[in-house]
Chains A and B, each alone.
Chain A
Amino acid sequence: MRFRTLLFAAAFLPLFGQEPSLPPNLEALAARADESVRVSLDGSLLQMAAKMIPDEDQHSAAIRKIIAGIQGIYVRSFQFGSDGEYSAADLESAKAQFRDPSWSRIVSVQSKAEGDCDVYIRGAAEGKLAGIAVVAGEPRELTIVRIVGEISPEQLVDLGGEFHIPRLQRKERK
């Protein structure tokens, strides 16, 4: 009987990954934002999305290859009509999610004109990456991206512009 119950439970377990939840103060920003976007794609959906990417160019092929190693993409973005709609404390609480010892901040850019951008990585066994996160706070836009799976910072740049992930630029070495 117990085995049968377990079998039933296993059959109807949700097949989707758990979307990371945001602190309540960040969720409340949606009420003040001119535009808010939430993207929540787990592995199986990403594989489906990958099939929709046409075989047109090298960039499309690269995106497909990146998606193959990803288990989830979660994006939360808020756009505001004027500066100062979100506080420094809101930005801090977005960053605080990644202060866990499993995350390491690899990039931190602070610009009065363009805002802050932090990139975090999560390590896994054998030196592989298990995830990457971006917190970008511009004067009128706050974006939090969390990608679960094997992805490098270089690949993150390639994913910019897809799935509502902000575009990142490679800095050319002199």
Chain B
Amino acid sequence: MRGTILTLLLLTSSIASAADKEFEQIVKAIETQYGVKPNHIPLLGLGNFLLKTAHPQGVSGFRIAVFENLDDRDGGRDFEAAMNRIGSSSLHCVIQVQSRRNRESTYIFTGNPGKSTRLLVASIENHEATVVEVKADVEALLQLLRDPDHIGDALGVHRQDP
């Protein structure tokens, strides 16, 4: 019995970790296709640790990668192909917009909406790219989307008015 429980735990944890790989996959695809590394964001690791332990406003995880100076001479087409391979049974691309006119691509992925869910947004515009992943209670996420001014508060980042 104990063996069965252990096997079950190992199996579910491995499935969960495999299901959370999309953020890394997208970051890797940008690095590979555009020959850039993400900018270093000070104290991001500490902030994420606090989010995971304190869950302010229902947010339990936040990851961001910001890229600048993308070399898109021939990376764009291959990046689209790479993005089309992203996704799993727990994360699906719900909206995909590609504008060659404005040289923009946006991909929005969401997880299964249970009590909590994941939202993963990847956006490439001219020579910049941003990948953001938020894990939050569905109700908290909806509240943040309804009232985006308070996203910073939820993530512990406070706006400084000029």
Chain A residues close to B by CB (< 8 Å) = 8, 12-16, 30-31, 33-42, 44-45, 47-48, 51-52, 54, 81
Given contacts A14-B89, A45-B113, A48-B142, contact A35 B94 (CB under 8 A): no
- Where chain A touches its partner, the secondary structure class is mixed
Complex Cα spacing A39 to B87, Å = 15
Complex Cα spacing A13 to B99, Å = 34
Q: A16-B112, A31-B77, A37-B96 are in contact. List 4 more A-B contacts (CB 8 A).
A: A33-B100, A38-B93, A39-B94, A41-B94
Given contacts A12-B89, A40-B92, contact A35 B100 (CB under 8 A): yes
Nearest residue in B to A11 (C-beta to C-beta)? B12
Asked if B95 and A35 make an inter-chain contact with CB atoms under 8 angstroms apart, the answer reads no
Write out the residue numbers on chain B whose beta carbons fall within 8 Å of the beta carbon of A41.
94
- Where chain B touches its partner, the secondary structure class is mixed
Write out the residue numbers on chain B whose beta carbons fall within 8 Å of the beta carbon of A36.
96-98
Asked if B100 and A38 make an inter-chain contact with CB atoms under 8 angstroms apart, the answer reads no
Q: Which of A35, A47, A48 contacts B97 (CB 8 A)?
A: A35
Complex Cα spacing A35 to B98, Å = 5
Complex Cα spacing A156 to B8, Å = 46
Tell me the minimal C-beta distance from A5 to chain B in angstroms.
Answer: 12
Asked if B100 and A34 make an inter-chain contact with CB atoms under 8 angstroms apart, the answer reads yes
A–B pairs, 8, beta carbons within 8 Å:
A13-B89, A15-B112, A35-B98, A36-B96, A36-B97, A39-B94, A42-B92, A51-B142
